[in-house]
């Protein structure tokens, strides 16, 4: 029996993952803001489901609850950093308060979560951190600039952390789902739109989200199954694209970026000291 800690477990991918892991016989520490969100599961799996309540922006409460969870469980095998949401709007449209909340939740909150569990994972000499990122951690859509800032940021953070913690038996997996049928769209924080962007890529993206024409191919259940499979793999991949949209966009974006960099060899070399 494995023990998993999952943030954002009250809905979406986190909820599905919690249900699937409990159903297969694992133990789950489900972290969320609302203590009653999993009442039915708590009744069904009382001995294998531990509820932790904290907001991702409250670092002190997070550390206190995580410390209690590790002490109660003795060992936690998988830490799934899943909590987060999307801020939708052109960079000029979003408010200062919306920016602060997006970064505090998705980026700073995820960083502090990982920092809080590292001493425990290091002490037990093993463990895997599974960060739920997005294809938007390496590619970008208009109207999601701040969401992308948070996802590109956490991926860069984990690129370094992975190198730091490998000697302690700790591994990192970054899951990058493409557009997936979850409650993500319904949970978007929308900026006040400006008419000047109506006929721009930002306006077209807004229209696609509003009228449902923006293609969403990913299946939530299959996405969760793929994440669990990757997390269970003896030698897990560092990055896992999830869904055909994610794979195609990542291949196109990374291929284009690599070609652009290759074409700048001469100017790159010119910046070296003589």
Domains in the chain with CATH codes: 3-244 (3.40.50.720)
Count Cα atoms within 13 angstroms, Cβ side, for 243: 23
**Ranges under pLDDT 70 in the chain:** 183, 185
Q: Determine which one of 45, 110, 134, 151 is catalytic.
A: 151
What local confidence, expressed as pLDDT, does residue 184 receive? 72
What local confidence, expressed as pLDDT, does residue 212 receive? 74
Q: Counting beta carbons within 10 angstroms of the beta carbon of residue 111, is it exposed (0 to 12), middle (13 to 18) or buried (19 or more)? A: middle
Q: Determine which one of 85, 141, 147, 197 is catalytic.
A: 147
151 is catalytic: yes
134 is catalytic: no
29-54: pLDDT as tens digits: 999 998 888 999 989 998 999 999 99
* CA 239/CA 230 separation, integer angstroms: 9
What local confidence, expressed as pLDDT, does residue 22 receive? 97
What local confidence, expressed as pLDDT, does residue 214 receive? 74
What local confidence, expressed as pLDDT, does residue 74 receive? 93
In contact, 150 and 109? CB cutoff 8 Å = no
What local confidence, expressed as pLDDT, does residue 117 receive? 98
pTM across the whole model: 0.93
Q: Determine which one of 133, 134, 145, 150 is catalytic.
A: 133
What local confidence, expressed as pLDDT, does residue 125 receive? 96
């Amino acid at each position: 029996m494995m023990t998993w800690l999952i943030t954002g477990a009250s809905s979406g991918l986190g909820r599905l993952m919690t249900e699937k892991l409990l159903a297969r016989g694992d133990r789950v520490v489900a972290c969320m803001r609302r203590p009653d969100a999993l009442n039915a599961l708590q009744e069904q799996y009382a001995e294998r489901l531990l509820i932790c309540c904290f907001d991702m922006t409250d670092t002190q409460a997070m550390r206190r609850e995580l410390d209690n969870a590790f002490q109660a469980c003795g060992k936690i095998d998988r830490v799934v950093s899943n909590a987060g949401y999307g801020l939708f709007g052109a960079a000029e449209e979003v408010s200062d308060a919306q920016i602060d909340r997006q970064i505090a939740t998705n980026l700073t909150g995820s960083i502090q979560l990982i920092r809080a569990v590292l001493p425990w994972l290091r002490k037990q000499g093993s463990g895997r951190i599974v960060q739920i990122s997005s294809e938007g951690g390496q590619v970008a859509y208009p109207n999601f600039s701040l969401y992308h800032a948070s996802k590109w940021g956490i991926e860069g953070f984990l690129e370094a952390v992975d190198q730091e913690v490998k000697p302690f038996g700790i591994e990192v997996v970054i899951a990058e789902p493409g557009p997936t049928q979850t409650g993500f769209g319904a949970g978007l924080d929308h900026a006040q739109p400006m008419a000047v962007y109506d006929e721009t890529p930002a306006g077209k993206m807004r229209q696609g989200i509003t009228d449902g024409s923006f293609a969403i191919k990913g299946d939530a259940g299959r996405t969760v199954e793929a994440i669990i499979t990757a997390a269970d793999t003896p030698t897990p991949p560092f990055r896992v694209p999830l869904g055909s949209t994610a794979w195609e966009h990542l291949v196109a974006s990374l291929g284009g970026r690599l070609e652009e960099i290759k074409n700048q060899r001469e100017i790159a070399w010119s910046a070296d000291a003589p």
